[in-house]
Amino acid sequence: MGNGLRKLLFLLLIVILGIVQLTILDYFKIFTVKPDFLLINMVLASLAFEFRWAFVLSVFAGVFKDAFAVAGFGLNTLLFGLWSFLIVRLSKEITLDNNVTRAVLIFIVTAVHNTITGLIFIYLGNLIPLGIFLRIVAIESIYTAAVFWLVFKFSPLKTVLI
C-alpha cells in the first residue's frame, strides 16, 4: 500500500473511530470508562510514519477529540502532539515491532495522558474525587491496551497500518 494511501486511511480512521468513540462505545463502558480509540490511532500513526506526518495526524486526532470534549479545549491537541514526538523518538531507540510491546506502550501513554489531564483539571479548580480519578487512570488504560491487543491480534489491520 502506498504511503499516500496509508495517510489517507489514517485520516479516515481518525474520523470513523472518533465517531465510534462518541456513539457506539457508550454501550461498552466498564465502570463508566471506555477505551480511547483516538489515542490508539495516534500511537499507531506515530509508529507508522515519519515525524512530520505522525505529528499532523496526531494533532488532528487531538483536535477531533477536543471538539467533543466537555472542558479543556486544546489539551488533547497539545498532549497528542507531545506523545507523537516522544513515541517517534522512542521508536528510534527501541524496537516496537510486536503487539505486546505496542499494547504496553499504549497502556503507558494512556495512563500518563489521563493522569496529566486529570491533574490539569484539578489545578484549574475542577473537583475530581480520588476514586474516580484512579478508576479513569487505571481501568481506561488497561481497557484501551486490551482492546488494541485484541483487535490487532485477530485483525488483518496490522499489515495495512504498520
CATH of the domain at 31: 1.10.1760
> How many structural domains comprise the chain?
1
| Cβ contact 33:79 at 8 Å | no
Q: Which are the contacts of 152, defined by CB distance < 8 A and separation ≥ 6?
A: 99, 102, 158
Question: Residue 123's domain spans which residues?
Answer: 3-161
Q: Which are the contacts of 106, defined by CB distance < 8 A and separation ≥ 6?
A: 39, 40, 43, 144, 145, 148
pLDDT for 159 equals: 57
pLDDT for 129 equals: 87
3-class SS of residue 159: helix
* pLDDT tens sequence for the chain (162 residues): 567 888 888 899 899 989 999 899 989 999 889 999 999 999 999 998 999 999 999 999 999 999 887 767 789 999 999 999 999 999 989 888 888 899 999 999 999 999 999 999 889 888 888 888 888 899 999 999 999 988 877 665 555 556
Angle at 88 between CA 25 and CA 61, to 5 degrees: 30
Cell of 39: 489515542
Residue 27, Cβ density class (10 Å: 0-12 exposed, 13-18 middle, ≥19 buried): exposed
Q: Which are the contacts of 143, defined by CB distance < 8 A and separation ≥ 6?
A: 30, 33, 34, 35
DSSP code of residue 30 = B
| Cβ contact 105:148 at 8 Å | no
Identity of the residue numbered 109? V
| Cβ contact 118:128 at 8 Å | yes
